[in-house]
Amino acid sequence: MLDRYAVKVIRWPLKTLAALPDKLGITANQVTLTGFLIGLLALPSLMLQEYYWALTFIVINRIFDGLDGAIARRQGITDCGGFLDITLDFLFYSMVPFGFVLADPSANAVAGAFLIFSFIGTGSSFLSFAIMAGKRNIESPIYKQKSLYYIGGLTEGTETIACFVLFCLFPQYFAIIAWVYGTLCWITTATRIWAGYHTLKDTPEIEVN
């Protein structure tokens, strides 16, 4: 819901920051992998209940995630880069609640499982529509700079990062936040399924000769 506004705020800083790695010959895919590896450090931090360290690694990961896109737009967006970026993003998103489950299984296990379950809904509805939209050459009117058709919703990347920040700042309330955010994710999944189905239904298929 907030991504379209967040993109406008961070576009210029990321574009400016991307000039240096581009000049040094650092590729967008290298930044994607580096950011993911740094983000993985959040898992042991969460297990040890070092929540401020975990938050640091989460924030760095998200900065790298924005930076790789800015570099890609300078060097040329590729399908393999988009594939790598979105795959590692979804792995990272599911890793964070798993880390809280490991930190306190008795208090967080069920809520964490529900949140990961809800991420399956948002992720599958996002990716399955992107595949079908690509087959029909349907382009997003808002996120034209994305590798995939970016279908929005109530919970997008900006809201998810805000949720992770709340987790780290208030870990004692992880279960409550996870239940609330997971429910919002399912609302997003339902609206994406409805919108995606009707968009594809009303768009003629491209005939292949």
Global confidence as pTM: 0.85
Mean pLDDT of 191-199: 87
Does residue 149 carry a pLDDT above 70?
Answer: no
Mean pLDDT of 13-37: 91
Does residue 145 carry a pLDDT above 60?
Answer: no
List of domains in the chain: 3-201 (1.20.120.1760)
Pick the range with the lowest mean pLDDT from 30-44, 75-89, 149-163.
149-163
Distance set, CA 93 to CA 9, 47, 87, 178, 196 (Å) = 22, 16, 10, 13, 23
Q: What is the pLDDT of residue 7?
A: 74
From 126, 121, 52, select the one nearest 82 (Cα to Cα).
126
